[in-house]
Amino acid sequence: MKRQTMAIVLVLLGAGFVFGDGESVAVSIRFYDKQVYHLATEPILLQVTITNNGTLPYRFRLAEDRGFSLDFDVRTLQNRAVPQADALLRKRTGSRQVYFRDMAVETGESFSFVEDLRHYAAIEEAGAYVIQARVYPEAYRVSLSGASGGTGSSDHTTGNRGDPTALSSNRLQLTVRPPAIPGPDGLPVALDVETKANLVREKLPPDEVVSWTIHARQKSQWEKFFLYIDLPAMVSRDGSRQRQWRAESEEGRARMIARYRADLMASAVDGDISMIPSDFTVERTAYNAENAEVTVLELFRQNNFTERRRYTYYLRRDDGSNGYWSIVDYVVINLGTE
């Protein structure tokens, strides 16, 4: 006898939860930081925004694991549905506890969060795709009558397709390119989103490397931001990650780098270096043949004040006097506000 499983949803809320007028609520999606996307490399971060255009507060439940509140319908231009990611299927069809938060969006207000599309869809071919999000205010429930298919297929979780409270977003077009071609230094050749030209590292002095990186972050140009950051060195800054790094195979280390890069872009780790300063000044640069320190005063303008922080960036040259400078570490000192 075939044994079927379903996700066990534990809602830590009282009975009688009211959702309000869903017809006046709009869901929209956009790229969190638009860039050139390649197969199986950088995350595809999408910002999901729920806006209340009604006259009453809109209340809904948001899962701590967003995969139980959100889904993405991803299709090719030929309307072929892209399968769900294997990890997402295992999570939804396994037996586990899922915790939710009681959320409320007031009239005229919005609530946003960022998700990686690769956690939802198995995009394994280069090409153009159309994406649409679907938010489930009462949770994504796996049907007992059949397993889910692709992210938009006809057998896509019977219970959810008939959910009257589900909200659909606008459609967004995504282009995924073939894997990046390695450059002469072994690093993938990235493309400048503005010029579509290949991004190639230059032999810049340490202070210019730091300035380049900060300017790139100010413009939300992630490919430029990562150009002079030594990701393996940054991953192993943390003691526990360093031990894991030493124990991992080459493939495992590649996964760690990809995950760290995605978390850095989502400000889930090392948030200090991914913050966007309103202004900055390079105060001091000191270096020898292999190592450098660059001290920078960075200003972060808030509503009624400006926060001041002093960053010290540590850089290393990968091949003596003939190599490229890369950022391998940093420390931050808070200097108060003005």
- Over residues 99-109, the mean pLDDT reads 89
pTM above 0.75, yes or no: no
* Residue 65, domain CATH: 2.60.40.2360
Residues 85, 142: contact at Cβ < 8 Å? no
Residue 16 lies in a domain: no
pLDDT more than 90, % of the chain = 33
Q: Are residues 59 and 28 in the same domain?
A: yes
* Residue 304, domain CATH: 3.10.450.50
Give the tokens for residue 234: 């940054």
pLDDT tens across 23-32, in order?
789 999 999 8
Residue 9 lies in a domain: no
Q: Are residues 49 and 151 in the same domain?
A: yes
Residue 143 lies in a domain: yes
Per-residue pLDDT at 4 exceeds 60:
no
pLDDT tens across 8-51, in order?
343 433 333 444 555 789 999 999 877 778 787 678 899 999 99
Q: Are residues 113 and 205 in the same domain?
A: no
pLDDT tens across 276-314, in order?
999 999 999 999 988 999 999 999 998 889 999 999 999
- Token match 């609530």: residue? 111
Residue 205 banded pLDDT, cuts 50, 70, 90: very high
Average pLDDT of every residue of the chain: 80
Q: Are residues 200 and 296 in the same domain?
A: yes
Q: Indicate the residue among 114, 143, 177 that finishes a domain.
A: 177
Q: Are residues 239 and 94 in the same domain?
A: no
Q: Are residues 218 and 78 in the same domain?
A: no
How many domains, the chain?
2
Q: Indicate the residue among 126, 148, 177 that finishes a domain.
A: 177
Residue 33 lies in a domain: yes
Residue 230 lies in a domain: yes
Q: Are residues 165 and 194 in the same domain?
A: no
Q: Are residues 30 and 173 in the same domain?
A: yes
**Structural domain range at position 125:** 22-177
Q: Are residues 33 and 168 in the same domain?
A: yes
Per-residue pLDDT at 120 exceeds 90:
yes
Residue 183 lies in a domain: no
Q: Are residues 37 and 66 in the same domain?
A: yes
Residue 7 lies in a domain: no
